[in-house]
Amino acid sequence: MNFTEFSEISPAKTEALKARIARLGIDLKLVEEQFIRGSGHGGQKINKTSNAVLLKYPPLSLIVRCQRERKRSLNRFIALRELVDEIEVRISPETSDRLKQIQKIRRRKANRARKRRLDTPPAQE
C-alpha cells in the first residue's frame, strides 16, 4: 500500500498519518486491500462502482471497511486512518486518542446516569 493516491487529502493529514504509522511500527506491506461494491443508498453509482474499501491486517486479525465518501481515494485514506486507530488501541492503548475519547464519553454517560438516579424519587408501591 502506498501514499500516491491521496492527492485529495491535505499534505499535513497525510504526513500526520505517516508519522503515526512509523511510530507504531506498522508494516504497510502486510495490509491487504480490496475494493468492493458498496451497499445502501446511492442507486446506480453504488451499484456500478467499487469504491468501498476493505483493509485487512492479518497480524492482529483486524478488518476495516469504509464507504463514507463517493471517491475511492478518500475512502482509502479514511479506512487506513481507522485501521491505524484500531492497531494503536491494541498495541499501545495508553497513547491512543480514540481510546481517550471513548473513556471520556463513558465517564460522561456514567455521570449522567448517576445524576438521574439521584434526581428521580424512589418508586412507591
Helix 97-119 vs helix 72-91: crossing angle, to nearest 10? 80
- Residue 62 — pLDDT band, cuts 50, 70, 90? very high
Give the Å distances, CA to CA, from 69 to 14, 16, 29, 89, 100. 17, 21, 25, 25, 26
- Residue 3 — pLDDT band, cuts 50, 70, 90? low
- Residue 2 — pLDDT band, cuts 50, 70, 90? low
Domain coordinates in residue numbering, the chain: 11-93
Positive or negative, the CA dihedral 42, 13, 17, 93 is negative
pLDDT digits (tens, 9 = 90+) for 89-103: 888 777 777 777 888
Q: Looking at the whole model, is its pTM more than 0.85?
A: no
With 80 as the cut, is the pLDDT of residue 25 above it? Answer: yes
Q: Which CATH class is domain 11-93?
A: alpha beta
As a whole number, mean pLDDT of residues 49-68 equals 92
- Residue 70 — pLDDT band, cuts 50, 70, 90? confident
